Chain A
Amino acid sequence: MRVSLFVPCYVDLISPGVAVSVVRVLRRLGVEVAYPQGQTCCGQPAFNSGFFDEARGVARHFLDVFEREPSDYVVCPSGSCTTMVSHYYPFIFEGLPEERERAEALGGRVREFSDFLMNVLEIEDLGAHYEGRAVFHCGCHQRRELGVMEEPRRLLENVAGLELLDWENEELCCGFGGTFSVKMPDVSAAMADEKIRALDKSGADTLISCDSSCLMHLEGRLRRTGRTTRVYHLAQILDPDLGKVG
């Protein structure tokens, strides 16, 4: 099994350790990992802001880079960026049949990390260990467009030492929403605060998600409000060498 790794831009630049953990987990499972060097971003910020021309420009670059790399799957540690490629590339290439077809072909091969582990590799126990009481936040694209909700929970239930807690209104959006977080910052922060109140109430000391973008927003708010909650991407929790690099 050979996969191309699609590392979202903010993971590459801000949380590279997440991608390192993805690579380590996949290699332990015997997967050959390629990292197409030309990759940058999926274009979602432009798309979400209504700049479809610019998003298409970035999408074309993305398609060029990943079509060149021979692999069975493209694996991405983000439900949101996976959705951008699998669901919204065809949307922005509506009326451009050739590119739409390319987008659909590649989109069919892109898998979010936990989806890939559970539904392609059919692995649910990675023998990982983590001491903590955790809540899991499912990003909205992952929940509604991808429908990958149970997979990360199952993987976490099999982590020794980790107690997975329920939290109130767990289906509510965290309020990140891409450029929404800076365009409507008050509402965005109020949404984060509601998640944080639920987190406080649950008694969790750790927050886990498959989307580093939601986590960047929630962690930013947790720190600003003086909380020390540990914040991790799922891949980091599943990585036995967590903390050694990045």
Chain B
Amino acid sequence: MRRTAQRRDGRDRRGVGIESKVEGFNERSRRAIEDEALHAAVEVHSKNTVNNRNRALRALPDAPELRERAYHIKQETMANLDRYLSQMAEAVEARGGNVFFARDGEEVVRYVGDLARRREARVITKSKSMATEEIELNRRLQEEYADLGLKIVETDLGEWIAQLAGDTPSHIVAPILHMSRHRAAEVLSGVAGEKLPPNVEDLVAFARRRLREKFLSADIGITGANFGVAETGTIVTATNEGNSRLVTSVPPVHVAVMGIEKTIPRLKDLSVFLRLLSRSATGQKITVYTNMVSGPRGEGEADGPEEFHLILLDNGRSKLLGTEFEEALYCIRCGACLSVCPVYRQTGGHAYGSTYSGPIGAVITPLLKGDEEAKDLPFASSLCGACAEACPVGIPLQDLLLKLRRRQVDEGLASKAQQIAFKGFEGAMRSPAAYNAGAKAGRLFQGPLSQRGLDRKIPGPLKGWTDFRELPPIAERSFRELWKEGF
């Protein structure tokens, strides 16, 4: 059943013609396509990561089996997620940690804000958290708890630079892929109060010095989680900068915000996922730091926070369980699908207008936020399948994109013009007589068009085609006519 598109704000944004209104992807990508620095950066990054990744996976003889295992572990986890989550919660609580199930971003903001108030916190350091990007935790804490005067500092180098620049990450693994080192130097020079040279060593050395002060003064450290182990209540983060360890162990309070789908059942499953994650993300055998946190400082222990809070974030995830879209929850955020995607390659991450970009972003953004909020994203793909081929846990990304396109049509979100056009298409293609008549009409119609000159752009549904390419004419005689005549 198709319903007519009804928007919450009452505006009808259904498009006209075959080109649907894509809510900004085209506009944003147009700017990106003209950005040559962005192109060069994405190209180099893709080439390096894809090469490194292929080399790393080739060196792993059981890579295909690992991928299968990862898929099956995730499948089994999702089928029993409620059980695994309570197991994890019990394990964390048994070690003196606190567990909070957050339905949405709002509940996370309340929880963290109230915690910050109780702890009289001033400085919060953060590391490795896309889940908090997704719910815009920083902005909302600063706005909704303005009286606390919180200073929130991202400490992953790229994230920090993005934060200083008032920018958002554009890649799951390389957050400031879109930024040149000259731009990064400019941003850091702004905080340094002196001109820093645009070379990586100097910039990193500066960041180290400056971030060190933040680590030591932080009242609360917030991280995400690459994995949460149900069996032991262990939160795992894989990083290359070591900052995550300073965020989890130096401040008196550690808060981990984890999407519920990051659960894995057993500690031994980590060996499957860590091998796949590091190789797929950066081509490393293992990341430089693998952090495992299982609660606050225990009796007689030398370090660790006084308080440990695990926030398990739903935010639209549990409604995907048991549906045809469940596989989207298997994602381990390695970014491999971005690195191989020919669309991402042209547009970079910001064109997607979401925390999550690339093929996985085009899938999970509408699933988490709703189709109307990300109407264009499932269509921002040529369906070439490079993403599904690269995915280390076997998510059938292009099939999910196709199903999301179908869901929009089912929901009545497709333009009226498209609805009419495809009904007409079906009618014509089910009847050879109609098909032939259509071909004849096309031939008559193209006469006046082609007289306008081959390089002329034409309006209407084919505008998208002729703005960029020559339109081939319909042949004087179709194959079926040639066949009848004999040759």
Chain A residues near B (Cβ < 8 Å):
7, 9, 11-17, 19-20, 23-24, 35, 37-41, 43, 45-55, 57-58, 60-61, 91, 140-141, 143-145, 171-173, 175-192, 194, 216-217, 219-221, 223-224, 245-246
List the B side residues contacting A171 at CB < 8 Å: 386
In the complex the two chains form, is A219's CB within 8 Å of B33's CB? no
Bound: A143/B384 CA distance, A: 9
Q: How large is the interface on B (under 10, 10 to 19, 20 to 34, 35 or more residues)?
A: 35 or more
- Cα A114 to Cα B469 in complex, Å, equals 28
B483 contact set on A, CB distance < 8 A? 23, 35
Q: Is the CB of B384 within 8 A of A220?
A: no
Please tell me if the beta carbons of A15 and B475 are within 8 angstroms of each other in the complex: yes
| Stretch of B16-24, B106-114, B141-149, B286-294 on the interface side | B16-24
B467, A185: Cβ atoms under 8 Å? yes
Q: Say whether B478 faces chain A, with CB atoms less than 8 Å apart.
A: yes
Question: Considering the complex, which residues of chain B in the window 371-411 have a beta carbon less than 8 Å from any beta carbon of chain A?
Answer: 378-386, 388-389, 399, 402, 404-409
**Contact, CB under 8 Å: A186 / B33:** yes
Question: Once bound together, how far apart are the Cα atoms of A92 and B266, in whole Å?
Answer: 37
Q: Quick one: which of B22, B468, B480 contacts A35, CB cutoff 8 A?
A: B480
Which one, B125-133, B180-188, B417-425, is touching chain A? B417-425
What residues on B are CB-neighbors of A175 within 8 Å?
A: 342, 382
CB distance from B24 to the nearest CB of A (A): 12
Pairwise interchain contact A177-B18, C-beta atoms closer than 8 A: no
In chain B, positions 225-251 with a C-beta closer than 8 Å to chain A are none
| In contact, A14 and B407 (Cβ under 8 angstroms) | no
Q: Inside 8 A of A20's CB, which chain B residues have their CB?
A: 479, 482, 487
C-alpha gap A175/B407 in the complex (Å): 24
Would B383 and A180 count as touching, CB distance under 8 A?
A: yes
Question: Does B447 reach chain A (CB closer than 8 Å)?
Answer: no
Q: How many A-B residue pairs have CB under 8 A?
A: 211
Contact of A220 among B26, B404, B423, B472 (CB under 8 A): B472
Given contact pairs A183-B22, A183-B379, A191-B346, A220 touches B426 in the complex (Cβ within 8 A): no
Instruction: Determine if A217 and B469 form an interchain contact, defined as CB atoms under 8 angstroms apart.
Output: yes
Give the distance to chain B from A94, nearest Cβ to Cβ, in Å.
Answer: 9
Assembly CA distance A11 to B26 (angstroms): 29
Partner of B464, one of A51, A57, A185: A185
Specify which of A9, A58, A246 is in contact with B482 (CB 8 Å cutoff).
Answer: A246
Closest to B485 in A: A245
Provided the pairs A13-B439, A40-B428, A61-B429 are in contact, do residues A54 and B472 lie with their beta carbons within 8 angstroms?
A: no
| Pairwise interchain contact A177-B383, C-beta atoms closer than 8 A | yes
Asked if residues A187 and B414 are in contact (CB atoms below 8 Å), the reply is no
Q: Determine if B379 and A184 form an interchain contact, defined as CB atoms under 8 angstroms apart.
A: yes
Could you give 27 example pairs across A and B, Cβ below 8 Å?
A9-B429, A13-B474, A15-B475, A16-B475, A16-B478, A35-B480, A40-B430, A49-B422, A50-B405, A50-B408, A51-B406, A51-B409, A55-B426, A58-B426, A144-B386, A144-B388, A172-B342, A173-B386, A180-B383, A182-B465, A185-B19, A185-B468, A187-B346, A191-B382, A192-B469, A216-B472, A223-B470
Q: Are B385 and A144 in contact (CB under 8 A)?
A: yes
User: B422 contacts which of A46, A184, A192 (Cβ < 8 Å)?
Assistant: A46
| Residues of chain B from 21 to 77 with CB closer than 8 A to chain A in the complex | 22, 25-26, 29-30, 33
B179 partner residues in chain A, CB cutoff 8 A: none
